[in-house]
Amino acid sequence: MTTNMLTDVKMPFCPGCGHGIIVKSISKSLEDIGYQPNDVVIVTDIGCAGLVDPLFNTHTVHGLHGRAPALGVGVAMGLNNKNKKVIVIQGDGGATIGLQHILEAARRNINLTLIVFNNLLYGMTGGQISGLSTDKFKSDRDLEPGIPPFDIVRLAHEAGAVSSARVVSPRNFNEYLKKALDAPGFSLIEMASMCTSYAVSKLKELEEYSEEENALTNRRAPVEATFRQTSSLFDRLQGIPRMFGSKIHQRLGIVLAGSAGGGVQSAAMLLAKAGTLSGLHSTMKGEYPVTVGTGFSIAEVILSTEPVHYTGLNKPDVLIIVSEDGLSVAKHLINKNVLVLADDKLDVSQYPEVISMPFVQEAGKRGAALSGLSEWIRRSGMLELQSLVEAIGKHKHGESLLKALFALEKKS
C-alpha cells in the first residue's frame, strides 16, 4: 500500500498557477502529521480547485459548485472517527456560492478542515470577480466600487470555527496547514493562489492584493454524532416482482455507444429495467458531452445475480455500436472476448470478430441502439425479449420504441 499522498498524475493547472503549490503543501502537511492515504477523504468543489481529485491517492468525492462543505459534513458525521481526516477543497467562487454551508459546518463544529484556494476570481469561467475578491484587487480593475468582499476567515470564526486563518506566503503554508489539520473540530484556512491567466503573474503582486495573514481560534469541543437504530426507508418500498426468466448466472456488462440525442441513454435505461423485471440487480451509467445534443453518447449497464457494489465497466461482455461517434469512443473496448454488434455502415473491417447489422437503416438513428439490444437478446437468449417490451410499457414514445425493437425481426 502506498504511503504517498499524491499520485503520479500531471498537475492540470495553467503554467504558473498557485494551486499546484497548495496541493503539494497539503500533501506534505498530511504526511508530516502522519496520516496514511486511506485515512483521508478529500471532498472537492467545481472550478479550478476541483481539478485536484486525480492528484491524491486518498478517497475523493467530487461535489457540485458550492456544495462541497455540505458533502463533507455528511462524510465526517458518517465516519464519526477522529482518526480519519475529512478535507474539503473549494475555490473562492465556490466558497461564495456555498457560504451558508460553510457557516453551518462552523456553527455545528463538524470535525473537518475546509481549504479555500483564493485566486481572487472565477478562473475557470473567464476571470469574473468573486465574493472574496479583495478591495485592492477590484479597485485596480474599477469593479464593484464601495462593495466590500466577504471576510471568510472572520465569518467562520464568528460562526464558531475552532480555527480559521488566512495565509498568503507559500513560506507559511505548511505551518498554517498543519495547525488547521490538527484542530479538533471545524477549521478553515484561506490560501492565496496566483491565477496567471486572469489575475497576477508574480507572488509580490498577489501579496499586495491579498488581505493580511490572520489566525483566529475558538475553544470548543467538536460535535459528536449520535446514532439511533431506525427502520430503513427501503423497508417501506415494495419490491419489483420478477416477471421473466434469465440465463445470466453471474454478472454481465453491456456497453451501448452512439451519438448524443440518438436514444442510447433511453435504450440503456430500458435494458436496466428489463433486467430488474427479470429478477436481476441492474445498474446503468451514462456519459455524454456537456453539449448534450452533439458528440458521443455512451451507456454502461450491468446485470447481475448478486448486488452490484461497483458500477465501473472497463471490460464489457457485450458492446453495441451504432454511430461513428460511438465507434470513436468505444473502439478500444473491442477484442475477441467481447461480443460486438455494430451498424453495417461503420468501417469495422479491421475487427473481423464484429457482427455488422443494419440497425440505423431499419430502426432509424433514434432506434438503432434499441434495435441492437433486441438483436443481442435474440442471439444470446440471456433475457426474454418480452422483458424489454414490458419495460417500454406505457412510455410516451412506446409505439416508436416497439417499432425499433422489432425492426430487424420484421425484415427477416
Q: Are residues 63 and 200 in the same domain?
A: yes
Q: Are residues 96 and 173 in the same domain?
A: yes
Task: Provide the pLDDT for residue 89.
Answer: 97
Q: What is the pLDDT of residues 285-332, one digit of tens each?
A: 999 886 666 899 999 999 999 999 888 888 999 999 999 999 999 999
Q: What is the pLDDT of residues 34-92, one digit of tens each?
A: 999 999 999 999 999 999 999 999 999 999 999 999 999 999 999 989 899 999 999 99
Q: Are residues 128 and 164 in the same domain?
A: yes
Q: What is the mean pLDDT of residues 201-221?
A: 91
d(CA 404, CA 412) in angstroms, rounded, equals: 14
Q: Are 74 and 92 in contact (CB under 8 A)?
A: no
356, pLDDT greater than 70: yes
Task: Look at the chain and report how many structural domains it folds into.
Answer: 2
Provide the pairing of β-strand 251-259 with 296-304: antiparallel
In single-letter form, the type of residue at position 2 comes to: T
Task: Provide the pLDDT for residue 370.
Answer: 96
Task: Give domain status of residue 60, yes or no.
Answer: yes
Q: What is the mean pLDDT of residues 192-202?
A: 91
Q: Are residues 43 and 187 in the same domain?
A: yes
Task: Provide the pLDDT for residue 292.
Answer: 60
Q: Is 361 exposed, middle or buried (0-12, 13-18, 19+ CB in 10 A)?
A: middle
1, pLDDT greater than 60: no
Parent domain of 308: 242-411
What DSSP element (H or E) covers 116? strand 113-118
Listed in sequence order, the residues at least 6 apart from 357 whose beta carbon sits closer than 8 Å to its beta carbon are 341, 342, 343, 344, 371, 372, 375, 408
Task: Give domain status of residue 306, yes or no.
Answer: yes
Provide the pairing of β-strand 121-122 with 128-129: antiparallel
